Amino acid sequence: MTASVAILPVGRNKAILPVGRNKALRSSGSCMAIASCRNCNALFRPTFLVMGLLAIAFPVIADDSPSPVAKQFKALVDEYEKEGGATIFAKRFLALGEANPQDPAAADALLWVVENVRGRAETTKALELLQAHHLDSKQLGSACGNVARSRSLAAEKLLRALLEMSPHAEVRAQACYYLALLLDSEAIVVDQLEAAPDLVPRVLQYYGKEYGEHLASLHADELAKQREQVYETMLKSFPDVSAQDSTLAKIAEKALFGIRHLSVGRVAPEIEGEDIHGDKFKLSDYRGKVVMLSFWGHW
């Protein structure tokens, strides 16, 4: 036995009456009619099929209106743009992000702090909250540069956490790249402090007590090992990602060569050439002797 189905638009305030055994479905006005059948199950099978098709054809429209937290964030941004004062507003953005850890807009509030206020207690707290509640946020990828420049000890921790745990490959790549740049910048400060220890007070003043003391405690050899590990990860895991009109593979290869061969205390790479008399020579021929290399050129 087959059952024929006819679907007509449902009028306003028209009730669909329950279907009894061997009864056709009817309502006042044109709404819906299903041919009667002898078996009630046969009646409902086409009905469920029609309902399923309708659900597919006319999905429920999701409510994409901003959340209350998102509205508060926008209101704060508007107020800041009128009044200014990043250090004052940082406390309010931080409070908004801290009070609503599960709302995606909270990440916006915390990232605002990281971008606009560097080297302060609010910056460190914002970074810690991002690590605690928003590691799965995709927008942290584009924020990694600001994280690396935030002059906070929490920045390195957040970048390492994103590199290890972010579910988004593009975020992990950005975290790896900016973690490498952060460690490179730390290496420069460490070299300066080793050459001139009297610069420590200036480092503490610029970077803040906590991060400044951390920088002053680092050793060049240990930091070089950390940099080498990060660049090896970059070369292995994200070789084809574009950056600085190049790829992370090329950037990593160049950096690794510098760390392994051009750092203070490393054996210089082999150099071959001809002297002014046309005689061939190699740098290794002079091993154990004091050698001054002068690189020059003209265009």
Residues 48-82 have pLDDT tens digits of 444 555 455 555 555 578 999 999 999 999 999 99
Q: CA nearest 190: which of 182, 81, 40? A: 182
- Give the pLDDT confidence score for residue 228 in this predicted structure: 97
Angle between helices 140-148 and 169-195 (to 10 degrees): 0
Query: Is 72 in a helix, a strand, or coil?
Result: helix
Which residue, 125, 117, 223, 240, is CA-closest to 179? Answer: 223
Percent of the chain at pLDDT > 70 equals 79
Convert the pLDDT of each residue in 158-213 to its tens digit: 999 999 999 999 999 999 999 999 999 999 999 999 999 999 999 999 999 999 99
> What pLDDT score was predicted for residue 58?
52
Question: What is the DSSP track for 172-223?
Answer: HHHHHHHHHHHHHHHHHHHHHHHH-GGGHHHHHHHH-HHHHHHHHH--HHHH
- The alpha carbon dihedral of 91, 95, 98, 104 has a sign of negative
* Residue 17 scores a pLDDT above 50: no
Q: Tell which phi-psi region holds residue 22, choosing left (phi > 0), alpha (psi between -120 and 50) or beta.
A: left
270-274 own/partner pairs: CB under 8 Å, 24+ apart = none
DSSP 120-161: SHHHHHHHHHHHHH-TT-TTHHHHHHHHHTS--HHHHHHHHH
Distance, CA of 208 to CA of 122 (rounded, Å): 12
Task: Give the separation between CA 176 and CA 162, rounded to whole angstroms.
Answer: 8
| Angstrom distance (rounded) from CA 101 to CA 107 | 8
Lowest mean pLDDT among 42-46, 139-143, 282-286: 42-46
Whole-angstrom distance, CA of residue 241 vs CA of residue 244: 10
Angle of helix 68-83 versus helix 104-116 axis, rounded to 10: 20
Other C-beta atoms within 10 Å of 269: how many?
11
First to last CA, the chain: 93
pLDDT digits (tens, 9 = 90+) for 105-141: 999 999 999 999 999 999 999 999 999 999 999 999 9
Q: Which 8-state DSSP code applies to residue 2?
A: -
